Amino acid sequence: MAEMDCEPTSKEGEGQGKPIVVLLMGAPGSGKSTFCEHVIRSSTRPWVRVCQDTIGNGKAGTKSQCLKSATSVLEDGKSVFIDRCNLDREQRAEFVKLGSPQVEMHAVVLDLPAQLCISRSVKRTGHEGNLQGGKAAAVVNRMLQKKELPKLSEGFHRITFCQNDSDVQAALNTYSALSHLDTLPPGCFGQKNPDAKIQLGIMKFLKKVEVPVNVGPDANFPKHPLSTQITKEKDSCCKQPEDISSSSGNAKEIKGGENIVVHAVDGTVSSKDIPTLAFPSISTADFQFNHEKAADIILEKVEEFVNKVENARLVLVDLSHGSKILSLVRAKAAQRNIDSNKFFTFVGDITRLYSKGGLRCNAIANAANWRLKPGGGGANAAIFSAAGPELEVETKKRAGSLIPGKALVVPLPSTSPLFSREGVTHVIHVLGPNMNPQRPNCLDNDYVKGSKVLREAYTSLFEGFASIINTQGNLLEGSSENLRSELSVSQDHFKGNHIKNVPNHDQKIKRVGVYESERSKKCKGFHDEHESDCTESKDGKENLNNEKIGRSMTKTWGSWAQSLYHIAMHPEKHKDNLIEISDDVVVLNDLYPKAQRHLLVLARSEGLDCLADVSREHLQLLRTMHAVGLKWAEKFLCEDELLVFRLGYHSAPSMRQLHLHVISQDFNSKHLKNKKHWNSFNSAFFRDSVDVIEEITNHGRATIKDEDSLLSMELRCHRCRSAHPNMPRLKSHISNCQASFPPSLLQNDRLVLAPSKSGSEP
């Protein structure tokens, strides 16, 4: 038969997810047909196998016949396996065109050792395509010599590489577990292909298979890895996913693991490899929080996060396919139309998401107890166990306890199994409200207070994840084509949460997304002097600095980002580089100025890292900083009356210690290089000093603007507001633009002008 059909088990009229085309790739003998048969027999999703060896009324046919048959299958709403060798790009091209916004295109690459493929081919009898016996060895050799591994850029949504029996079994379980509505995360899994985006954690690169020659039919090779297994599982191949994984003999550790299923809101997930946080539902298990209320709060806080943070995603994880909280969240997320590229649910063990399900997460959340101790049950016990003693040691360094509604970010050492096996670089402990009378601090069904605490818990959790992204999430730019060796980011290279060094000196690693004008190089000349200060984390001092209690509690600052703090606290060490020192402030030139004149006025107050830390008690200090900045602007205006200045703060600075920017509006600087540089001074992300003072006077706090959406805005002239496609075009325009500044900047003394121009618009 040309097709092997597995009839759908769903009721008539039941909704279905997108059909999937799985293009199988592998040499003869790699197990393509066996793979199809196993999945079709086990899955509740309707699959059809299209095999070129049998498509011509049981005999070999043509590629065009396969394409026609596959198209017909997809029109019926079924998923299809393309059972051909497909070893080079040209052979795959026509089939890849079957993919569309309504059809997902997958590839499963059975990239098994050549010897194994040849052994199976020469020993088999009754093969559909009659490729068996002595002639098989020569055919396999010839085909493997032309092998060209697939890339996402060809048009695939997902590529799974299988290089051994374990990989094949994991892929079998994954596809067998798919129901009608399920989908799988995008990207490359197993063996990474060259055009896959870089994922954080440990990178694994392609290994070329050596092709043996002149292997005869009597060579002694292993048997087919699936042949005996399928026989043994004949009566159990339709088990539920948990049952299959339990049969592995290690049910507690990998329950649901190898059979992870993604439930995306609209059936799609972004193909980008982006920083990912996996988190369990907080307080709905042991703490017995109402599931409906919890689901609403989860989606409320998720929505806030995904609207603010562009390059990140959140994944809600539970062990059970029948999870009530996952079901509620999926349904409510669909109603809210939350971007499934940024948020989806996942069934599996949160400590085995990558090794058993192919989902790489940079951080995982732990529903901790207030003592931050191992033990108990659920996620807390599992995560402490999986991470090893290293997690408990690192946690103790940072805090002894946690209050409800708060989160604690803990970087994992490279020696932790969670780091080395799963690629998890951080665990974020978070404590929610308790509605269980058998547990401490029960709220006695007070859902007003409980909901408030749960919102705070998710806010703290997501802010903690954002702080990880700020310090390490954007370290790498580009694709793995730029890399020639393995990147292993270990805790040995962390100071705080900042990656100070990476062992591969040949790798070109750029820190992207730094909108702040101050980078580590800014303090060139200061760095050597305060290097010993920055390494005080050995004594716990830096950890104390990073674990401030307050609105910026979850913000972590790498050693380079603490340069301004050390200058403000110890100006005597840097007096040769400062232009003013007083009891309240120090002033220095920005080492990488974004305009002709660009100064920083640093507060010399302990505990003021950024605007989020400022309250009414700091008003006098803010006024002093403004007065000092104004004095310097007026001094520069005396030297060049054509200059125009703004004084202001960044909403979320990349360097620790509250500092005021005094910047001329010509923006004539070679250091103004990208969109984030520009928008950090020419969007609402830049808070004018006069507005900050007024806001804190009236409301006690400054409004913190949406960082990611503002910094990614299109490039617009700060005078005429015309849009420009890139920085060179914008810089060329602003050098000649004579338009008046927008009315909003001409009000409330937001612009500082020369006295001769103060009566008219610049």
Q: Which 3-state string (H, E, C) describes 541-593?
A: HHHHHHCCCCCCCCCCCCCHHHHHHHHHHCHHHHHHHCCEECCCEEEEECCCC
The answer on 210 and 271 residing in a single domain is no
Of the listed ranges 177-191, 336-350, 490-504, 539-553, the least confidently predicted one is 490-504
Measure the CA–CA gap between 80 and 175, rounded to whole angstroms.
Answer: 12
pLDDT per position as a tens digit, 120-169: 877 766 565 556 555 667 778 777 777 888 988 889 999 999 988 888 98
58 or 482: which carries more pLDDT confidence?
58
pLDDT at 268: 34
The answer on 609 and 748 residing in a single domain is yes
Reply yes or no on whether the pLDDT at 563 is more than 70.
yes
422 or 490: which carries more pLDDT confidence?
422
Q: Count CB atoms within 10 A of the CB of residue 141.
A: 18
In angstroms, how far is CA 140 from the centroid of its own chain?
A: 40
The answer on 681 and 599 residing in a single domain is yes
Q: Does residue 500 belong to any structural domain of this protein? A: no
Q: Does residue 499 belong to any structural domain of this protein? A: no
Q: With cut-offs at 50, 70 and 90, classify the pLDDT of residue 181.
A: confident
Active site residues: 659
The answer on 654 and 688 residing in a single domain is yes
CATH number for position 751: 3.30.428.10
Q: Considering 207, 238, 269, which residue would you say is the last residue of a domain?
A: 238
Of 76, 83, 105, 111, residue with least CA distance to 93: 105
Task: Find the DSSP H helices in 279-428.
Answer: 291-308, 324-336, 353-357, 378-387, 389-398, 417-422
Q: Does residue 503 belong to any structural domain of this protein? A: no
Give Cα separations from 468 to 304, 399, 472 (angstroms): 18, 18, 6
Q: Does residue 542 belong to any structural domain of this protein? A: no
For CA atoms 483, 486, 487, 492, the dihedral sign is negative
Of the listed ranges 210-214, 456-460, 570-574, the least confidently predicted one is 210-214
Reply yes or no on whether the pLDDT at 209 is more than 60.
no
Single-letter residue type at 99: G
pLDDT at 273: 58
Of the listed ranges 11-25, 396-410, 735-749, the least confidently predicted one is 11-25
Reply yes or no on whether the pLDDT at 535 is more than 80.
no
What's the mean pLDDT when you consider all of the chain? Answer: 76
On whether the CB atoms of residues 198 and 423 are closer than 8 A, the answer is no
pLDDT at 117: 82
Provide mean pLDDT across the span 394-415: 90
589 or 476: which carries more pLDDT confidence?
589
DSSP-assigned states of every residue in 126-160: S-TT---THHHHHHHHHHHTT-----GGGT-SEEE
Of the listed ranges 303-312, 511-520, 723-732, the least confidently predicted one is 511-520
Range of the domain at 430: 261-471
Q: Does residue 637 belong to any structural domain of this protein? A: yes
The answer on 729 and 580 residing in a single domain is yes
Of 573, 649, 578, residue with least CA distance to 609: 649
- This prediction has a pTM of 0.37
Q: Which of 53-62, 481-490, 641-650 is the most confident on average?
A: 641-650
Q: Does residue 360 belong to any structural domain of this protein? A: yes
Provide mean pLDDT across the span 168-188: 85
CATH number for position 12: 3.40.50.300
Q: Does residue 489 belong to any structural domain of this protein? A: no
Percent of the chain whose pLDDT exceeds 90: 39
The answer on 62 and 31 residing in a single domain is yes
Kindly report the length of the chain.
762
On whether the CB atoms of residues 733 and 713 are closer than 8 A, the answer is no
Helix 114-123 with 134-144: angle, nearest 10 deg:
150
Of the listed ranges 89-103, 522-536, 712-726, 735-749, the least confidently predicted one is 522-536
Reply yes or no on whether the pLDDT at 679 is more than 90.
yes
In angstroms, how far is CA 219 from the centroid of its own chain?
A: 47
Q: CA triplet 452, 457, 458: central angle to 5 degrees?
A: 105
pLDDT at 559: 62
If one counts the domains in the chain, the total is 3
Q: Does residue 243 belong to any structural domain of this protein? A: no
pLDDT per position as a tens digit, 188-198: 887 643 343 33
Percent of the chain whose pLDDT exceeds 70: 72
pLDDT at 52: 87
Q: Which of 4-18, 20-34, 319-333, 656-670 is the most confident on average?
A: 656-670
The answer on 276 and 215 residing in a single domain is no
The answer on 390 and 295 residing in a single domain is yes
pLDDT at 60: 81
Reply yes or no on whether the pLDDT at 240 is more than 60.
no
The answer on 266 and 227 residing in a single domain is no
The answer on 292 and 232 residing in a single domain is no
DSSP-assigned states of every residue in 590-604: -SS-SSSSEEEEEE-
Q: Is 71 exposed, middle or buried (0-12, 13-18, 19+ CB in 10 A)?
A: middle
Reply yes or no on whether the pLDDT at 579 is more than 80.
yes
Q: CA torsion 315→319→324→326, rounded to 10°?
A: 10
Phi then psi for residue 117, to 5 deg, are: -65, -45
On whether the CB atoms of residues 607 and 568 are closer than 8 A, the answer is no
pLDDT per position as a tens digit, 46-91: 999 999 888 887 778 888 899 999 999 999 889 999 998 888 888 8
Reply yes or no on whether the pLDDT at 262 is more than 60.
no
The answer on 593 and 523 residing in a single domain is yes
Q: With cut-offs at 50, 70 and 90, classify the pLDDT of residue 607.
A: confident
The answer on 231 and 323 residing in a single domain is no
